[in-house]
Structure 1
Amino acid sequence: MIPAAVLRVCGRPPSIEERRPPVPHAGEVPIRVAAAPITPLDLLCASGTSYFGSPATPYVPGVQGVGRRADDGKPVWFATSAGMRPGDGSMAGAVCVPYVDVVPLPPEAPLTLIAALGLSAVAAHAALTRTGGLTGGEVVLVLGAGGVVGQAAVQLARLAGASRVIAVSRSSSARERALRLGAEHAVPLLPDDDAGTLADRLRAVSGLVDLVLDPVFGVPAAAALRVLRPGGRLVNLGSSAGATAPLDSATLRSGSLKILGYTNNGLSVGERAESLGVVADHATAGRLTVSHDVVPFTDVTAAWNRQAGGDAGGRTVLAF
């Protein structure tokens, strides 16, 4: 028998149960799970209110995880469709995953850190480089720099050759962390900001920027457009600051600006594996990190409630 976090009622946290080990089918890789993060997508799916519809219960949550192949012990990262389609996810002692959703990791990979980075760092890397077309020497503005995507983006932009990175965040602690992670300036987002006032503060430290990484939308996105150089790009991958933004036609047209949308769902399996490989290599070499809390798997119910309530210090990772 293996331990598993089982969610029986949508909107409530999972709890530990004992289950039979999964049996691999053709094309699946048996994996001993080492760690699994509790991500916003896990919480959304388990709420029963996601755009995927209410999941069939009971099920084991967890859309991603890290572990070791059962046959040779080699470390891997893996993805699942738990909560989006019928089937169990990563929050169990062992899983069987289709080989196309398994990515080899470096032998010395820091597994809990890679679990914390995971698809959030993949999104930051792919949005910057694949969608945003970041090239060496460009100036990058990262909105929402306090979140996992934003933290990763600050570092990955520099690692990809950005000459300068400017960070924006509401929290003073997040701004201080962004500076430690490589941002040249960290600009506060204030409660009464409108697009004009925030743009003025940004312009004072950034000048014109080439690329905006935007996981927040709303007023910050509208302000960021005003400091883009002609032909500059804004890549949006979230809406935590607002589902709509007060954009004005004159700003877009006068600068021939580009607004691009990004989602991990748009990546091919190969593209996802490529970005995950870049993330894993940087993390293993000590060049990439993110704030996270590692908690014992047996504490999954309390950890889930903290993450859902916004009381966690960063990404929560369940360790076996």
Structure 2
Amino acid sequence: MMKALLSLVLAATPASTVTQLSLPPPTGPERVGTVTAHLIDRSRPDPWVASEKVRELMVSIWYPARTVRGHERAGWVSPGVAERINPPGSPYALPVTHGYVGAPPAAGRHPVILYSPGFGIERTSGTVLVEDLASHGYVVVTIDHTHDANFVEFPDGRIATAAIDPPASPDEEETLLEKVVDVRVRDTRFVLDQLRRMPLARTMDLSRIGMFGASMGGTTTADVMLADPRVLAGVNLDGSFIGPILDRDLKRPFLLFGSDGDGEQDETWTKAWDRLRGPRYWREIDGTKHLSFTDFQSLYPQLGLPADQVEPVVGTIDPARSVAVQRAFVRAFFDRHLRHRGGGILDRPSPRYPEVRILP
């Protein structure tokens, strides 16, 4: 999806000079480590490719590091995926993250947050929020939904590609999207089951688990919470709701954090709002668009494209400001509901964040 669009832009012009793309640095006091894990669910076949008899997933774990000395910074995507989306001759170099591969973890046990990306997008697309949370003392586990994501690279070099056929009618589309969400919920619950066996498990406080996601990952978060009481608080970043959350009550804290609706509201948000029976928050950021809640908010404006190509994708808001606002509110929400402290900016309009509107 958007990463495929980005790859077309990156490959558009042969490079005489190469521009290094970058992500904004985390704001927290902790250095950040990161590792990946290959998970195999032998209890079910892959739901999208019939020949694959087990469900394989890739996750990344981001965490506070004791030291990063002697460790290299991780690339934004894995090497095989980088070759697919940024071929030789591109005028751009993909960003390097602020996470250090295999760095030793900081002492203590930290709250855990899961991240689910948008439909057709990889787990790396939320890095600007993920590594910031890790720098403030959270362990964040990002999930690739194989064959839903555009590309997923496994440790042996295999790259799984998107394999969900487009629907032929509106009725088929609704059925398909419900299946997509159901698969994602199953993926996420399997990841939850594996947390105790993962690298860095000793750094995780599994009594304090939250989840957030962008677009399809947002409704995935809500539907996971309905299915699994281990997830105590959730955030939907600008995703329409699909599935059980539209018909069942959710009694745990939830934040709806959306793009500028220009006075229009997503009907599924209105419906889901009435189903939220715990602490609930609905906020929108002026000047943003749907993909403002991904790394593309930072990356797209760096491509040197005209405004009429950039603004429909990531809006008119200053990219650095958009990221800063998102980081502040997402962290405030999890601080309040996983650490039971802070979160005052959630309660009322804040003069520090005048672009954030309280709805409904």
Task: Identify which of structures 1 and 2 has the higher relative contact order when contacts are C-alpha pairs closer than 8 Å and 6+ apart.
Answer: 1
